[in-house]
A = this chain, B = another copy of it.
Amino acid sequence: MTVLRRAAIVAVGSELLTPSKIDTNSLYITEQLNRLGVEVMVKLVVGDMREELTEAVRSLLARVDVLILSGGLGPTDDDVTREAVSAALGRPLAEDEAITTRLRERFKARGFAMPMPETNRRQAMVPAGAVVIENRNGSAPGLWIDHEGKVVLLLPGPPRELRPMLAELVDGPLRASALGEPLMRRVVRITGRIESDVDQLMQPIYREWAAASPPIAATILASPGAIELHVSTHAASQDVVDRALEDAVQRVVNTIGADVYSTDGRKLEQVVGDLLVAKSMRVAAAESCTGGLITSRLTDVPGSSRYVDQSVITYSNESKTELLGVPTELLQSHGAVSEPVGLAMAEGIRARARVDVGIGVTGIAGPTGGTAEKPVGTVVVAAVTANERRCRTFRFFGDRELVKFQASQAALDMMRRLLSS
């Protein structure tokens, strides 16, 4: 048999083609395959339609070494996986008497008075040459077919049946067939830059990485205010993989600089929290357009009560004056969305909460309230400590929730830089 390197995953079931159900088995299957160094090339969802599925099995098998199908192994007419695989591989179905016997016993054991319906014998039909895999958590057995140097695996759809079955295969026959080079991944998180900018800086490095040994693959995931650079590689030795990835991550950090905020999976609020703990500092926020989102994110982190003790949400001008002592004159002369007001909010909350870091955020989240001079998306972020005042005006795009998120991201990032400097 050839070594398994490339896999395809097929989820079978018409319910997975409706707007309310999604195939999640493939995430677990991917995780297990990656552990063996097998890469998933394609994922497919097909309805309970024999011809569609037959065609899909045929065309996918031409392109991968291992094909894993989940679902469609039940006893009803809707369950077409066995028939489709049989047709695609040209391996006729025959009843496996041992399975039928087990099905009858299982049926009896569950206390049904009537005999097993004959339709259930469909579950005992097996393509020629298939190895039956016992299902300890349900009625449909799995099937393993070695076919022209490739592996086709039929697994039941319910996760509680599929997972233990696959886990056993991964520890046994699949591991034996796979290359056994673990595929590992690290994530570098970046903020304060746009995707194409990161990409341009990284281009020459991508080219080097593609030619390196082991080769490093990189993917960018970007959403407003948050960029993730995923680097991955595989090699025979775990040590080689770990070292290659650590080098790759360092390379990104050296290239992108201080805009990298995490290389170990931590979220921005966690990074900020760790900095606050390390410096024994506490923070309080005066939030206008973010409406509490900054403090909510800060307090998503377990243990955040060590550094968060209070914050205020001041939506109206009056509340800015009343709760934060922002002078009415300042609001009138500069407007609520202005750097003097943002700084006054940060100073106000810092003094009133008697903390080390004060954050002030004021802006126009939209969809209304924008002007030519200060359009929707204009947000002022300020951060102050005993010795330093930082303030910046941003212009974010997107809808209300997106502006709020980007503003919270900018405020957390301003804190991070302030605390790192």
Contacts and interface: CB of A to CB of B under 8 A. Distances in A.
Interface of A: 13-22, 24, 26-28, 30-31, 34, 39-49, 52, 55-56, 59, 63, 74-78, 110-112, 116-117, 119-120, 137, 158, 160, 185, 194-197, 199-200, 203, 206, 217, 219-223, 230, 287, 289-296, 298-300, 302-305, 308-316, 318-319, 322-323, 353, 365-369, 395, 397-402, 404
Given A63-B52, A303-B368, A401-B300, A30 B17 contact: yes
A52 B46 contact: no
B291 A313 contact: no
A296 B404 contact: yes
29 contacts: A13-B219, A14-B219, A17-B30, A17-B42, A18-B34, A18-B185, A20-B27, A20-B230, A74-B222, A76-B199, A77-B203, A78-B220, A116-B196, A137-B397, A160-B398, A287-B292, A291-B308, A292-B299, A292-B313, A295-B313, A296-B296, A296-B404, A300-B401, A302-B400, A305-B315, A305-B369, A309-B318, A309-B319, A312-B313
A88 to B, nearest CB: 14
A296 B290 contact: yes
Given A305-B316, A367-B302, A395 B111 contact: yes
Question: DSSP class of A's interface residues: helix, strand, loop or mixed?
Answer: mixed
B20 A22 contact: no
Contacts of A30: 17-19
Given A292-B292, A312-B310, A319-B309, A17 B40 contact: yes
Contacts of A313: 292, 295, 299, 308, 310-313
